[in-house]
A and B are shown apart, each in its own frame.
Chain A
């Protein structure tokens, strides 16, 4: 019966599917193995060269050899491997050692090689060149990196921005923010990573950027950096932003930053957030109050220890513990005399933890 319904063309189709599946499978496996072999070959060659360089590299660092002598040992074909070799040193070494490594990177042969790659290489080459310029802190690469911010490839742009961060080029902040607002692939985490590279010096520039920022995501990031670097002068702007914004995440960040910089003038507004409808916002306000410390808020915190949400009442207990300067008697008093079961159990957990050294 089935015979009647199966035409030759259907069988032909199946045979075509068989060949396609076979071809796809074999081709992908071969491609994958080829990648693995290329990678293995690269690793073997790399190891050989690294072992060779390792023997004399410290001679260079200790001053027994100058940059010209060292560079004379490396052919231009080996530059790729040499950059790999020097990478971990560039990441870990600081001070005089880093200057000596930078001198190698500034050597005309290597600098020209990288510069050529940044300007005319493929996207991978441009991206790597940008990366190494930053890693070696090569000041004269700044203009090339600023140009690279406009590169059509997102990864190149990202690496240029990272390198500008390493070079502390705060004058490029505006350009970086422009790229952030224009590029869809540019994530907040990437911008954060870039700004982080600038270190705390970036904060005054960010303070100028805050009112100009077009998106809440950028504001959020700037506030988080103020928090991380504990940038006290941002206090008034943070209060202003906290009063104006309706974005809960931004509110959380502002509250948290005000707590981190221990901005006493923020206490009245923080107190108003203790009644916020969102539990998370309330919890952040409690934490901030705990960090700034105001004994007048003891009754409010005790009241919050009776809340049905565990994380809220635990935060209130922790804040109370902090503002009373770790006074065990306050918690014991709540534990022994409170008529509220939530407050009692929270005090009990906190006491148990603190007594066991948590």
Chain B
């Protein structure tokens, strides 16, 4: 009994210190992000993007769109992409062995013809069945291949795309018209930039027509609203903060841009990775920064990609379990980064942060709750202290979420109505009572599943906002 009490006692203190450290890191990231984003917003106001590209030597972009069973969205998506604002770009749609008529629709709508297949690069992929071009839309290229998954489809796209920048987006994502200009800007301004990520926002609640956002809104359900706040917090604070340290180890797969050379140097996307987007970026840090210490992987808080968030518990659960497994796997693939000073902040701070607070975080949080309950049951806890501690934890969560909404409002003001702002403030408060704990529980499950060998992808079903 004495040993158990001793363990509980030390574990309580461990959780307390764990909490203090994570709060310090968040506070630090917040302060960094606030400054950076406010400065960015001012800078953007002063210089027109089109002017930057008028005088700098722009780098043409190949936009790769992996598509699997996207019959409902693919035409609108391709059309919207072809209308993006950028001096020179091509759209490469890769039909990844769809079982529906995705390919036929593309061929029919854009008047595409089969042309001899030429592979420019040699990333290994599943068999290519054909390549299609259109007289009317010369900047559109369609690759038809056997099913091999998203990473494999992107690699096939890279093999056939011709421009020095590669932008990867999901087929059902909606890009703002000038987002290529914004995401390509770091590449033209700094030769050392090898990858850039943009901000992902949630399309649920917005009015979408033909691949364009007509009116921005907030989701109808609280589950959706909580995710809006969660995304704002993750992108505006987390990513921006780490970006200042050149320590970004995740760029969302829904919208990312790389230099072709960097992508080829690391061998393209790994087809066996669950979180292929994170794995690629961690690998880039490991391989590219070894050769070029000044290489940068950066984040721009402005080029917006709108994507659909799950609004059912089942789908959200499956998504979060998959993300957790992807994080653990990606970190596991590149252990040599851990506390390795050769990789700067990534090795010394960011990678350890992801190990201790992202990969192990849910485990510590859930066991912390259990130990807390046991301590209470055994009457070995100081109740006023426990209540005060819990209050601080919840208030800190609320403050972080509120600040991210405030930062959004002060810098970009995407949500036009005052009611949106109030809803987001309310979501910032309510998400701390159940939603966050639920996410931790799912991530904890993901960790357990990973440990006990259940490492498959899981299923992600979308409602399809495009159909509206």
Taking beta carbons and an 8 Å cutoff, which residues of A are in contact with B?
A: 1-3, 6, 10-11, 14-15, 17-18, 21-22, 24-25, 28-29, 31-33, 35-37, 40, 155, 158, 187, 189-190, 192-193, 196, 221, 224-225, 227-228, 249, 252-253, 256, 284, 310-311, 314, 345, 348-349, 352-353, 356-358
Taking beta carbons and an 8 Å cutoff, which residues of B are in contact with A?
A: 5, 9, 12, 43, 46-48, 51-52, 54-57, 113, 115-116, 118-121, 133-135, 138-139, 162-164, 189, 191, 260, 375, 380-382, 384-385, 388-389, 391-392, 395-396, 398-399, 402-403, 405-406, 409-410, 418, 421-422, 425
Q: Smallest distance from the beta carbon of B382 to chain A beta carbons, Å? A: 5
**Cα distance A187–B39 in the bound complex, in angstroms:** 13
User: In the complex, what residues of B have CB within 8 A of residue A225's CB?
Assistant: 55
Are A356 and B138 within 8 A (Cβ)?
Answer: yes
Are A356 and B55 within 8 A (Cβ)?
Answer: no
Are B46 and A249 within 8 A (Cβ)?
Answer: no
Q: Which residue on B lies nearest to A22, using beta carbons?
A: B395
User: In the complex, what residues of B have CB within 8 A of residue A14's CB?
Assistant: 385, 388-389, 391-392
Which of A17, A28, A314 meets B402, CB within 8 Å? A28
**Cα distance A353–B113 in the bound complex, in angstroms:** 12
User: In the complex, what residues of A have CB within 8 A of residue B51's CB?
Assistant: 189, 192-193, 196
Q: Smallest distance from the beta carbon of B153 to chain A beta carbons, Å? A: 20
Are A158 and B46 within 8 A (Cβ)?
Answer: yes
Are A314 and B135 within 8 A (Cβ)?
Answer: no
Are B418 and A11 within 8 A (Cβ)?
Answer: no
Which of B46, B162, B375, B409 meets A310, CB within 8 Å? B162
A228 touching B55 in the complex, CB below 8 Å, given contacts A18-B388, A28-B402, A29-B406: yes
Q: Smallest distance from the beta carbon of A284 to chain B beta carbons, Å? A: 8
* Chain A to chain B contacts (Cβ below 8 Å), 6 pairs: A18-B391, A18-B392, A21-B396, A29-B425, A310-B120, A345-B119
A193 touching B118 in the complex, CB below 8 Å, given contacts A11-B385, A356-B135: no
Are A190 and B47 within 8 A (Cβ)?
Answer: yes
Are B384 and A11 within 8 A (Cβ)?
Answer: yes
**Cα distance A190–B422 in the bound complex, in angstroms:** 37
User: In the complex, what residues of A have CB within 8 A of residue B382's CB?
Assistant: 2-3, 6, 11
Are A1 and B9 within 8 A (Cβ)?
Answer: yes
Are B9 and A35 within 8 A (Cβ)?
Answer: no
A28 touching B406 in the complex, CB below 8 Å, given contacts A1-B9, A2-B9, A21-B392: yes
Are B409 and A32 within 8 A (Cβ)?
Answer: yes
Are B395 and A310 within 8 A (Cβ)?
Answer: no
**Cα distance A352–B120 in the bound complex, in angstroms:** 13
Q: Which residue on A lies nearest to B9, using beta carbons?
A: A1
A-B pairs under 8 A by CB, number: 131
- The 3 tightest CB contacts between A and B, nearest first, are A358-B138, A14-B388, A21-B395
Are B118 and A345 within 8 A (Cβ)?
Answer: yes
User: In the complex, what residues of B have CB within 8 A of residue A311's CB?
Assistant: 162-164, 260
Are A314 and B162 within 8 A (Cβ)?
Answer: yes
User: In the complex, what residues of A have CB within 8 A of residue B120's CB?
Assistant: 310, 345, 349
**Cα distance A29–B384 in the bound complex, in angstroms:** 29
A32 touching B406 in the complex, CB below 8 Å, given contacts A311-B164, A314-B162, A356-B133: yes
User: In the complex, what residues of A have CB within 8 A of residue B54's CB?
Assistant: 196, 228
Taking A36-B421, A311-B260 as given, write out 8 further A-B residue pairs in contact, using a Cβ cutoff of 8 Å, ordered by the A residue number: A3-B381, A3-B382, A11-B388, A17-B392, A21-B396, A192-B47, A196-B55, A310-B260
**Cα distance A33–B426 in the bound complex, in angstroms:** 13
**Cα distance A31–B421 in the bound complex, in angstroms:** 12
Q: Which residue on A lies nearest to B191, using beta carbons?
A: A249
**Cα distance A210–B119 in the bound complex, in angstroms:** 45
Q: Smallest distance from the beta carbon of B122 to chain A beta carbons, Å? A: 11
Which of A29, A155, A349 meets B162, CB within 8 Å? A349
**Cα distance A252–B385 in the bound complex, in angstroms:** 65
Are B399 and A193 within 8 A (Cβ)?
Answer: no
Are A357 and B121 within 8 A (Cβ)?
Answer: no
Q: Smallest distance from the beta carbon of A206 to chain B beta carbons, Å? A: 13
Are B133 and A18 within 8 A (Cβ)?
Answer: no
Q: Smallest distance from the beta carbon of B140 to chain A beta carbons, Å? A: 10
User: In the complex, what residues of A have CB within 8 A of residue B57's CB?
Assistant: 252-253, 256, 284
Are B418 and A37 within 8 A (Cβ)?
Answer: yes
User: In the complex, what residues of B have CB within 8 A of residue A252's CB?
Assistant: 57
Are A2 and B381 within 8 A (Cβ)?
Answer: yes
Are B121 and A193 within 8 A (Cβ)?
Answer: no
